[in-house]
Amino acid sequence: MTTAPDANAQITGAAASPSWRAALVKQFGHPTGLVGRLAGWIMATRPSNRQRNAWTVGLLSLQPGEHVLEVGFGPGLSLAHAAAAVGPSGTVTGIDRSAVMLRQAARRNRRAIADGRMALRIANVEALREGGDRFDAILAVNVVGFWLDRRGTIEILRARLAPGGRLAITVQPRSKGATADTTRRVGAELERDLEAAGFAAVRSERLALDPPAVCVMGTTA
Ligand SMILES: C[S@@+](CC[C@H](N)C(=O)[O-])C[C@H]1O[C@@H](n2cnc3c(N)ncnc32)[C@H](O)[C@@H]1O
């Protein structure tokens, strides 16, 4: 099933946008070339984005030795927080469809990669359908609005979690005029998606930004 374009547009801000804005939004969804490098720099330095990423990793209460996957790591802020939380006996894996983001994230996390505690690769989230390692925790920050089949993708992520694993999906709606009410609607939709995908203990937390960000979390049985 494909997610309705309007549902994604209220998250990404691509709805009814002038073409320059649509082009910029596209760069945040798949950074390429010089403008993509600029988008990565903006994401890495914007205080709200730094806060959102640190907050999401904190909500997962990662423990030393755990294995974590981030989908759509962008410039790699959450990867760094996750690596610090799981420590030398844990691992962090990241996938992102952008080669430009892979380079920025790899630079930011070169020590963890050199130590063999972090592995990053270019891939679309749908590649996770093919199977492979299972993780204690999976996170995605401001990425879900770019997934064409949101519910199907959440099901793919569930299959990649170990029993008792946690999923955290954070969104700050970027559509023009987005308010706390937009955040509430997006959070409620995501909660329904997680429940439909079979997650237990589904709940949301909010971060006081303008508009607020929401992190929707669930656990596998
Ligand atoms: C708005 S950025 C957010 C980056 C990072 N999570 C952050 O908060 O700083 C979205 C990122 O997700 C990646 N992305 C979007 N759709 C994806 C998909 N279907 N599969 C893999 N990566 C994706 C993009 O390449 C981009 O790096």
The Cα 53–Cα 80 span in angstroms is 10
Mean pLDDT across 163-173:
97
Kindly indicate the confidence band of residue 175, based on its pLDDT and cuts at 50, 70 and 90.
confident
The Cα 154–Cα 41 span in angstroms is 28
The answer to whether residues 218 and 164 touch, using CB atoms and an 8 Å cutoff, is: no
The Cα 201–Cα 135 span in angstroms is 18
Interval between CA 87 and ligand 1 midpoint (Å): 24
Predicted confidence at residue 155, as pLDDT, reads 97
- Token pair for 120: 């990053």
Q: Is the CB of 147 under 6 A from ligand 1?
A: yes
> Which ligand 1 atom lies nearest to the CA of residue 43?
9
**Terminal Cα distance for the chain, rounded:** 25
The answer to whether residues 76 and 104 touch, using CB atoms and an 8 Å cutoff, is: yes
Average pLDDT, the chain: 92
| Residue 47 DSSP class | H
pLDDT beyond 70 at 9 = no
Hunting for tokens 């691509």 — which residue is that? 14
The Cα 153–Cα 199 span in angstroms is 13
Task: Note the pTM of the prediction, 2 decimals.
Answer: 0.93
Nearest to 109 by CA among 91, 125, 133: 91
Q: Is the CB of 141 under 6 A from ligand 1?
A: yes
Mean pLDDT across 185-198:
97
The Cα 172–Cα 176 span in angstroms is 12
Hunting for tokens 């237990």 — which residue is that? 200
Predicted confidence at residue 122, as pLDDT, reads 98
pLDDT beyond 70 at 7 = no
Kindly indicate the confidence band of residue 32, based on its pLDDT and cuts at 50, 70 and 90.
very high
Predicted confidence at residue 11, as pLDDT, reads 65
pLDDT tens per residue, range 88-106: 999 999 999 999 999 999 9
> Which ligand 1 atom lies nearest to the CA of residue 141?
6
pLDDT tens per residue, range 65-76: 999 999 999 999
For atom 14 of ligand 1, the residue with the nearest CA is: 72
Mean pLDDT across 152-172:
97
Kindly indicate the confidence band of residue 20, based on its pLDDT and cuts at 50, 70 and 90.
low
Q: Is the CB of 21 under 6 A from ligand 1?
A: no
pLDDT beyond 60 at 6 = no
Mean pLDDT across 7-29:
68
